[in-house]
Amino acid sequence: MLAAEPKTTEATSALLGVYKPAGPVFVGGEGCELIAEDGTRYLDFTSGIAVNALGYGDPDVAAAIQGALAGGVIHTSNLFRTAPAGELASWLTANSFADRVFFCNSGAEANEGAIKFARRWAGPEKREIVAFRGGFHGRTMGALAATDRPAYQEPFAPLMPGVRFAEVGDVAALEARLSWGNTAAVLIEPIQAEGGVRPVPAEFLKAARHLCDLAGALLMVDEVQTGLGRTGWLWAHEASGIRPDVMTLAKPLAGGLPMGAVLVTEAVAGALQPGDHGTTFGGGVMVASAALATCRKIGAPEFMAEVRRKGTLLADLLGALALRNPCVRAVRGAGMMWGIETDGAAGIVGRALDSGLLLCSAGADVVRLLPPLVIGDDELRRGVALLEEAIECC
């Protein structure tokens, strides 16, 4: 049989057209910069959408991956026991409210797991999940049902039934949505990320905790984007002093390899039986080794203190930028996660790319900044200066 003629030579043209990738083809990375095939360096304020918390080429993550490779086992499936997943679960439970961990492969998958665990825990009568206007939880059928984006949902209806929405900040409306007879869980992002980098007030998270207790429902925090140091706290919900029942993680967890996790209390874990849930790849040797190295590094108290210090510097730089640029309507966020509300976010992202700064947006009127957590002070200053040039053009 004759080999098929190659249909294309372009780097991305055979990929399904669900994304609109912009700009150069990247072939390398170093520290907080991505390197294009013509050698141009770009300062990265996206971190691969909050994934590359340790930047590019972190030696500890590389050593962990090489260590797994040297052992010869990348994957075994969950039919067999391996050490890294157990060690990682121990690290996560020792450093959070949780008692047990389920590993999966992405943020959406973690939220699917959380929804299933909540319904299993709640029993056959209590089926409802309460989510929030402006929230984003992923693109799979359950996570999408809890995501407040009609344009993402409508082409794929019917989605998972049983999701009710409430407004962030409206305690009375949340109380009205919850009931002892029907509600299994409340699912909330401590900072709504894709929805425009909108921090949820601590008082509202506390009220949600209280109302969940009254309704016999689980409080589930989606920390897929905010978790593992991004906000200057190891877990963003810690800033409000609440203890959730369930937390979902993904993006930065495995240093750039795909991994998600659902962290639960013993009470939730007790409702799950062997066979209730599963995934072939979850917690594999290589990915768990990379995650352990990532978690140990980010979780070190001196590392987190640095993220907080740099978060204050970034807040100051952005506050000053907003004062000089009246078209900036709001600056909000925490740590290394900020949103700049102004018209024409896509134009700003495009102009910044042309001048060597990678940014992303969160909706039509919010420019989102997600620098690697290891970024230096001078890089923060350089990035904000480039951002300001891109804004001044608007």
Chain residues that interact with ligand PLP, rule: CB under 6 A: 106-108, 111, 136-138, 189, 193-194, 222, 224-225, 250
- Dist. CA 316–CA 120, nearest whole Å: 46
Nearest to ligand PLP of 167, 175 (CB atom): 167
Nearest to ligand PLP of 138, 344 (CB atom): 138
Nearest to ligand PLP of 352, 370 (CB atom): 370
| 214-217 CB contacts, 8 Å cutoff, 24+ apart | 214/178, 214/180, 215/178, 215/179, 215/180, 215/183, 216/122, 216/126, 216/180, 216/183, 217/122, 217/126, 217/130, 217/178, 217/183, 217/184, 217/185, 217/186
- Decide: 369 and 342 in contact? Cβ < 8 Å: no
Cα Rg, the chain, nearest whole Å: 21
Nearest to ligand PLP of 194, 388 (CB atom): 194
3-state DSSP helix/strand/coil % of the chain, to nearest 5? 40, 20, 45
- Dist. CA 312–CA 378, nearest whole Å: 14
Q: Which amino acid is residue 51, in one-letter code?
A: V
Shortest separation between residue 104's beta carbon and ligand PLP, angstroms: 10
Shortest separation between residue 214's beta carbon and ligand PLP, angstroms: 26
β-strands 128-132, 163-166 pairing: parallel
Nearest to ligand PLP of 321, 337 (CB atom): 337
Shortest separation between residue 185's beta carbon and ligand PLP, angstroms: 15
Nearest to ligand PLP of 46, 342 (CB atom): 46
Shortest separation between residue 295's beta carbon and ligand PLP, angstroms: 17
Cα torsion through 194, 178, 92, 107, rounded to 10: -30
> Could you give the 3-state DSSP secondary structure of residue 128?
strand
- Largest Cα separation within the chain, whole Å, is 69
Shortest separation between residue 105's beta carbon and ligand PLP, angstroms: 8
How many of the other CB atoms lie within 10 Å of CB of 234?
A: 21
Nearest to ligand PLP of 183, 225 (CB atom): 225
Shortest separation between residue 249's beta carbon and ligand PLP, angstroms: 10
Shortest separation between residue 114's beta carbon and ligand PLP, angstroms: 10
> Could you give the 3-state DSSP secondary structure of residue 327?
coil
Nearest to ligand PLP of 46, 391 (CB atom): 46
Q: Measured in whole angstroms, how far is the alpha carbon of residue 29 from the centre of its chain? A: 21
Q: Shortest Cβ contact with ligand PLP: which residue?
A: 107
Shortest separation between residue 258's beta carbon and ligand PLP, angstroms: 8
